[in-house]
Structures are given as C-alpha cells and as structure tokens.
Amino acid sequence: MLQWRVVVPFLLTGSIWGSTWYVITGQIDGVPAAWSVFYRFALATPALFLVAALMKRRLILTRKEHLLAALVGVFQFSGNFLFVYHAELYVTSGIVAMMFGLLMVPNAIFGRIFLGERVQGGFLLGSAVAIVGVSLLLVHEWRANPDAGVIGGNVALGIALAMLGILAASVANVIQANPTGRAVPMVSLLAWAMLYGTIFDLGFAVLTAGPPPLPTKPEFWAGIVYLALIGSVITFPLHYNLVREIGAGRTAYNSILTISVAMLISTLLEGYSWTWLTASGMVLAVIGMVLALRAKQTR
C-alpha cells in the first residue's frame, strides 16, 4: 500500500476526480449541459482509443461485446453524466459528490439481484450510517434554498437528478461485471462504451438543446480539456491499475479522498457554509462509508 506505484496513482485519481465536480460547474454556466457532456466525451473518446492502442489491448469486439459496450455507454457516459451535469445546476458540487459516495449501495443491491453477490451485515450497517450522514447534508441544502419546501423546487430537483445519475452509474457498473464484460480488456470496453455514449449524447443534445453552441470563453474549453483528458482518459487507466495492484476493495477507499477534495473545493470556491448539521453529516457519511467498505473488503 505504501509503494510509490500505489500511493501516487491513489492520490492522483482521488484529487483529480475530487476536482472534476467543481470544474463541471463552469461547463454549465451559460452552456446547455447536454452539449457540455458531448464536448467532453467527443474529445475523450479518441484519446481513450489511443490509450488502448498504446497499451496493445484488443479493440475488435464481438457483436455481443459491442451490445454490452453500447449499454454501458448509454448508462455511464450518457445517463450518469447528463443527470450529474443537470443536478449541479441546483445543488452544490461537493454535495453531489458526497451523494455519489453512496454509489456502493445500489451497486451492492444490483450485484445481489443480478450477479448473486453476498452482502455483509457490516456493509448494511455502514451504508445506513452513511445515508444518515448524507441526509443531514441534504437537509442543510434544503434549508439554505428559499424554494426548497416547494414541490419541484431547485434543491428537490437537483437531489432527484443526482439520484438518477447514481442509479445509471450503478447499472453500468453491474452490467460490465458480467462474463461478457470480464472477457474484454477494460480500457477497450470503456473506449467503445464512451464512443456509443457520445453518439447518444449528440442526439440528446440536438433534440433537447438545439444547435451546438460555440462558447468563446477560454475557461470553458480549458475545462473541457481538463475533464476529457485529465479527468477521464488519464484517471481511468490509473484507477484500474490500482484495482490490479491492491484489489477493488482497497481501491474503493479512493472515494473518501475524492469526496474530501470535492467538499474542500466547495468550501473554498463555492462558499459552502459549515454548521453543526453539515459537520455532523460529513463525519457520519465518511464513517459509514469506511465501515461499509471494510465489510466489503472482508467478504
């Protein structure tokens, strides 16, 4: 765990993914979220294919593998990100990141239903504690928004969109773990999935947001480059190399670092205010996630 080939990727992926939540806020400032998602993956897709080629991974897939890649793409690189980008129109980026820390819960549920994976009692306890903690953070967001009590209010819509994003990401995680997915090199599956997702993103953007905008702010395009190349192409190979080095269970602790970085950035740059309620929620959420992940590790 303390070797440089583990520590460096661990810190890099957690820090980078923690920062991407805030960078997204600049991508939806005056630009339709659907087009921002498309621009991100239109740049990331060819770069990821290049990474797969440089790693000499198999890029020719069977028909069944292409179907799986298309499903993963629609759920992961379309549904997940479209919901997340729209959620950040209404909820602080750090809170959306914190909610995504609960991704392990639907992952476990779907894994039990579709893959027959066991769920430990400690995992259920930790997940319950984490849910309580995140709920306290959402209560703070609700109170801070004057329209929060109104059905369809901004915070309520943001929470609903984030939850849909979590479910979409969870479906993608589970379906790629089937025997067909395990037979394909991960970077190759991700490249093809990203291509299919990008095609879907293009169609969705045209239908819902009209012609593509051409933002003139350099900050927007700098954000696109950062999210596409640094936040997507570089981190995915680093992440899955960690899975090989230390296992999926230990790698999952990376989510704690991601959340911590996201909340720190929200505090410094978005003016997120800490109270006894938010501090208690953060502590409970982290403790719960650690308990759940430890139980998952010992399965």
pLDDT truncated to tens, each residue of the chain (299 aa)?
Answer: 557 878 888 889 989 999 999 999 999 989 999 999 999 999 999 999 999 999 899 999 999 999 999 999 999 999 999 999 999 998 888 889 989 888 888 888 887 787 777 777 788 888 899 899 899 888 888 777 655 444 345 788 899 999 999 999 989 888 887 888 889 998 899 999 999 999 999 999 999 999 999 999 999 999 999 999 999 898 877 887 776 677 655 677 788 888 889 999 988 988 888 899 889 999 999 999 888 878 765 44
pLDDT of residue 4: 81
pLDDT of residue 253: 77
pTM (predicted TM-score): 0.88
pLDDT of residue 293: 78
Asked if 288 and 127 count as a contact pair (C-beta separation under 8 A), the reply is: yes
Distance, in Å, from the CA atom of 97 to the CA atom of 104, rounded to the nearest integer, reads 13
pLDDT of residue 176: 82
pLDDT of residue 189: 92
Residue that the structure tokens 């929200």 belong to: 266
pLDDT of residue 145: 67
pLDDT of residue 149: 43
pLDDT of residue 249: 57
pLDDT of residue 53: 95
**Contacting residues for 148 by C-beta, under 8 A, at least 6 apart:** 141, 142, 154, 155, 156
Task: Give domain limits for the chain.
Answer: 15-297
> What letters, b where the CB count within 10 A reaches 16 and e where it falls short, cover 232-254?
bbbbbbebbbbeeebeeebbbbb
pLDDT of residue 124: 84
The pair of structure tokens assigned to 55 is 């790693």
Q: Is 59 helix (H, G, I), strand (E, B) or coil?
A: coil
Asked if 223 and 25 count as a contact pair (C-beta separation under 8 A), the reply is: no
Distance, in Å, from the CA atom of 124 to the CA atom of 117, rounded to the nearest integer, reads 14
pLDDT of residue 121: 79
